[in-house]
Amino acid sequence: MSLLALEDVRVTFGHRVALDGVSLAVEVGERLVLLGPSGCGKTTVLRLLAGLAVPDRGRVLIGGRLAAAEGRLLVEPEQRGLGMVFQDLALWPHLSVAGNLELGLRARGTPRTDRRRRVRAMLELVELGELAGARPGELSGGQQQRVALARALVLEPEALLLDEPLSSLDLELARRLRTEILRLQERLGFTLVHVTHDPEEADQMATRTLRMDRGRLAG
């Protein structure tokens, strides 16, 4: 049984077709990269998996469980056991680094002592322990990327969805952070779905690459 799956999915936004008959399956522990130009449907795939969009046609399955189908959301995003890092990172500027990580745990009702223990451990894992009290605006671009990763991973997701979070970084920093993501994946064992327009990034990150073009898988 696949961890994540789309079955014959079609998504439209007004008159624009974002996805047209897309089917794919992601296995436990896999690193799947969706490669293609802007506007080809990569991010829409992630949004379907995360529960931030629903298909007009077709089905979305999470762990074999029907999560969305034919315009209906059947499993809420917070119930899917997935983490997502957006292209713009979406860090809360008024919260500290630790506060950004703690927010999701608090929403889940995690006890305060356990929240703080898990946040400290995750910040040490991404080598940001000394910056727990800093605000996002005080950090470098690379440090902000690691905060966004840590915020997703502190929730212990089964799968991590990455929406081109490294695209605004210079090449050398992006390479280092890709290596960091691979280290975390090996250490923590999560499944990875990563979207990019960069073939070099796909080569480094993927155990399997699917190319997309104009809302379809391109072979």
Structure confidence at residue 48 (pLDDT):
97
**N-terminal to C-terminal alpha carbon distance within the chain:** 23
Structure confidence at residue 139 (pLDDT):
92
Rounded percentage of the chain residues whose pLDDT exceeds 70: 100
Q: How far apart are CA 168 and CA 177, in angstroms?
A: 12
CATH topology of domain 30-52+76-217: Rossmann fold (3.40.50)
| Residue 68 to residues 113, 174, 184, 215, Cα–Cα distance (Å) | 35, 34, 30, 19
pLDDT greater than 80 at residue 168? no
As a dihedral over the C-alpha atoms of residue 197, residue 201, residue 205, residue 206, rounded to 10 degrees, the angle is 50
Q: Using one digit for the tens of pLDDT, what is the confidence trace for 73-108?
A: 999 998 999 999 988 888 899 999 999 999 989 888
Among 34-38, 132-136, 149-153, 215-219, the least confident range: 215-219
Confidence of residue 152 (pLDDT cuts 50, 70, 90): very high
Q: How far apart are CA 219 and CA 212, in angstroms?
A: 8
Q: What average pLDDT does the structure give for the chain?
A: 93
The contacts of residue 34 (CB under 8 Å, 6+ apart) are 42, 45, 193, 194, 195, 196, 209, 210, 212
Structure confidence at residue 87 (pLDDT):
80
Domain coordinates in residue numbering, the chain? 30-52+76-217
Structure confidence at residue 176 (pLDDT):
86
Structure confidence at residue 117 (pLDDT):
94
Q: How far apart are CA 140 and CA 142, in angstroms?
A: 5
Confidence of residue 219 (pLDDT cuts 50, 70, 90): low
